[in-house]
Amino acid sequence: MEKFNCRVTSSHKLLLIAGTGWLFDAMDIGLLAFILAALKVDWHLSAQQLGLIGSINSIGMAVGAFVFGLYADKKGRKSAFIITLLMFSIASGLSAFAWGLGSLLVLRFFIGMGLGGELPVASTLVSESVPAEIRGRVIVLLESFWALGWILAAFIAYFLIPLPAIGWRGVMLLSAIPAFYALYLRFNLADSPCYHVLNQSAKSESIWLKIQMLWQKSYRKSTLMLWILWFCVVFSYYGMFLWLPNVMMLKGFSLVQSFGYMLIMTLAQLPGYFTVAWLIERVGRKWILASYLLGTLMSAYLFGMAQTTESLLLFGVLLSFFNLGAWGAMYAYTPEQYATHIRATGAGMAASIGRIGGILGPLMVGSMVTAGFAISTIFMVFAISLFIAIIAVIVLGQETKQQRLLD
Given a contact cutoff of 8 angstroms between Cβ atoms, the answer to whether 250 and 370 are in contact is no
* Separation CA 190–CA 14 (nearest Å): 9
Q: Residue 299's pLDDT is what?
A: 94
- The Cα–Cα gap between 149 and 351 comes to 20
Per-residue DSSP letter, 165: T
Give the rounded distance of the alpha carbon of 227 from its chain centre: 15
The angle subtended at Cα 276 by Cα 270 and Cα 279, nearest 5°, is 140
First to last CA, the chain: 6
Alpha-carbon span 358 to 232, nearest angstrom:
9
Burial of 308 (0-12, 13-18, 19+ CB in 10 A): exposed
87 membership: H or E segment, kind and range: helix 77-94
Q: For residue 329, what are the CA distances in angstroms to 189, 229, 404?
A: 25, 12, 17
Q: Residue 406: beta bridge partners?
A: 3
pLDDT in tens, the chain (407 residues): 334 445 545 567 788 888 888 888 888 877 887 787 778 878 888 877 887 887 788 889 889 988 998 888 888 888 888 898 888 888 988 988 988 889 999 999 999 899 888 888 888 888 888 887 888 888 888 888 888 888 888 788 778 877 877 888 888 887 787 777 767 766 677 777 777 776 666 667 777 888 889 999 889 999 999 999 999 999 998 888 777 766 766 666 665 566 677 778 878 888 998 999 899 888 888 999 999 999 999 999 998 888 777 888 888 899 999 998 999 899 889 988 988 888 888 988 998 999 888 888 878 887 888 888 888 898 999 999 999 999 999 999 888 876 766 55
| Orientation of helix 309-333 relative to helix 101-127, angle to 10° | 50
Q: Which amino acid is at 378?
A: I
Dihedral class, residue 328 (left if φ above 0, else alpha if ψ from -120 to 50, else beta): alpha
Residue type at 100? G
pTM above 0.95, yes or no: no
Q: What pLDDT is recorded for position 281? A: 87
- Compute CA distances 13 → 8, 44, 213, whole Å: 12, 45, 33
Q: Where are the domains of the chain?
A: 11-186+203-396
Q: Are 142 and 122 in contact (CB under 8 A)?
A: yes
**Amino acid at position 262, single letter:** M
Predicted pLDDT at 150: 80
Sign of CA dihedral 81, 82, 85, 87: negative
Closest by CA to 234, choosing from 360, 107, 390, is 360
CA proximity to 146, closest of 299, 331, 400, 351: 331
Among the CATH numbers 1.20.1250.20, 1.10.3720.10, 1.20.144.10, 3.40.440.10, which is that of 11-186+203-396?
1.20.1250.20
Phi, psi of 7 (to 5 degrees): -65, 135
Which DSSP string do the residues of 180-200 spell out, in sequence order? HHHHHHHHH-PPPHHHHTS-H
Task: Answer whether 243's CB lies under 8 Å from 48's CB.
Answer: no
